[in-house]
Amino acid sequence: MKEYETKNPYNSEVVKTYVQDSTADIDKKLQKALAIEASWAAVEIEDKCELLSNVAELLIDRKEEYAELMTQEMGKPYSQGISEIEKCAWACDFYAHNAENLLADELIETDADESFISHDPLGCILAVMPWNYPFWQVIRFAAPTLTAGNTALLKHAQNVTGCSLAIEQLFLDAGYPEGCFQSLKAGHEEIEKLIANDGIKAVTLTGSEKAGKSIAGTAGKNLKKSVLELGGNNACIVWEDADLDEHIDTMVMARMQNTGQSCIAAKRFIVCENIYDYFLEKFTAKVKSLKSGDPMKEDTFIGVMAREDLAEELQKQVNDSIKQGAKVVLGNMRNGAYYSPTILTDVTEDMPVFKEETFGPVAAIIKAKNREDAITIAANSRLGLGSMLFTEDTDAAMDIISDIPDGAFFVNDMVKSDPRLPFGGTKASGYGRELSREGILEFVNKKTVYIKK
């Protein structure tokens, strides 16, 4: 019997001790999911949507409780936890109001008397989710996947086990049948075995590139569909005509929200030289004004990183870049799991803070000669989750959309997920899409139906 603890990264206090699920426990949960598959798939879409509306209401009712739990388990600033839960409720409302249309049969004109595409659920879907947005990452998978008629098993990150179990209880309290959504307290070995089980029809993972390769390899070997949302080192491109007075707050938010622990955060700031000095001055002043401290206090913007080893890893990336010539304008101080907001200049394309994902409050600033140079630098990445461009010349921005090889391109705003829009990456940032119509159709059988009378 294996036990593990969840710890508060701000004060190192143990939040709770858990017993890891045994192989027998995991199989029991899988069998429960399989036993309810047919009856859940047969539930009318209107009734599924009503249950999802219940989830949205409960999320709002419990947002303070859930925000505090996230703060305790992974150090998220409490006020940002409130916003996360509100966003989860928004996603549930979106699918509750739109799922029936999104899943409707698609009529196709052919030689048949009637032909169409139906959208049937696949069955039991396994989700492997990270700790940085403990509720949002799960809800944006679960809301469309369950509403499409699938059942779900969740393997959440161990340091947010309390959040994982709270989400399972949330669906039960909303009226979902037992077995529809279950949480697993499982290790990686058990998950590999589970993917190989015939009862699992597909797997989705949000996490690191390393984890994605492992999960995709196991899924592919067993002919299971997979959706991967992996890391990013998003570019924030600042052309010489950008309105910094209007957008500097957005640029700082794009890097520093959630203490910088976001796959879609702006990590490389690529600034045209004509505006570079002014940008650096304003950006540095704004970052300096961010309040660090106890993540439970409502005015805290920068809390702690989720674990001390993550802060150590981030500091190594920074120090290795400094050895290669990067200059520290601000920060690079660590105290346990706290890592101060950090700004680096003289960053070149061979440095870790340019090439790798920096999963914490570090902004790498790169000077570009002109607009074309900025786009070329931004595109130089193995990753492809999203890019953002700030400019008054939106016509020129429209002209270079195809030059941005990422899953998202935002102009004069930060890259963000929105239930109404598909979300996902290219290259080493993964494949498949979450949210919107594309998200709810990822785990359905798009069945061709052809009828002659």
Nearest Cα neighbor of 192 from 254, 128, 107 is 128
Q: Rounded to a whole number, what is the largest CA-CA distance in the chain?
A: 75
What Cα–Cα distance (Å) separates residue 434 from each residue in 92, 194, 227, 417? 13, 22, 8, 9
For the CA atoms of 106, 108, 112, 115, the dihedral, rounded to the nearest 10 degrees, stands at -10
Tokens of 90: 């928004």
CA atoms of 246 and 225, how far apart (whole Å): 43
* Whole-angstrom distance, CA of residue 343 vs CA of residue 280: 9
Q: In one letter, which amino acid is 382?
A: R
Asked if 229 is an active-site residue, the reply is yes
**Under a CB-based contact definition with an 8 Å cutoff, are residues 83 and 60 in contact?**
no
Q: Which residues contact 195 (CB under 8 A, 6 or more apart)?
A: 126, 203, 215, 218, 219, 222, 224
**Under 8 Å between Cβ of 215 and 205:** yes
3-state secondary structure of 178: coil
Dihedral of the alpha carbons of 355, 226, 186, 166, in degrees to the nearest 10: 90
Q: 229: closest CA among 383, 74, 380?
A: 383
Burial profile 288-304: b = 16 or more Cβ within 10 angstroms, e = fewer: eebebeebbeeebbbbb
Query: Any idea which residue has 């509720």 for tokens?
Result: 135
183, 33 in Cβ contact below 8 A? Answer: no
What does the DSSP 8-state code read for residue 383? E
Helix axes 161-173, 136-147, angle to 10 degrees: 30
Annotated catalytic residue within 84, 229, 434, 442? 229
User: How large is the angle between the packed helices 244-256 and 273-288, nearest 10 degrees?
Assistant: 60
Place of tokens 């399972």: 168
Taking phi first (over 0 means left), then psi (-120 to 50 degrees means alpha), and beta for anything else, what does residue 72 get? alpha
CB contact set of 211 (below 8 Å; sequence gap of 6+) = 128, 205, 230
Q: Are 371 and 240 within 8 A, CB to CB?
A: yes
CA distance 300 to 298: 6
Active site residues: 229
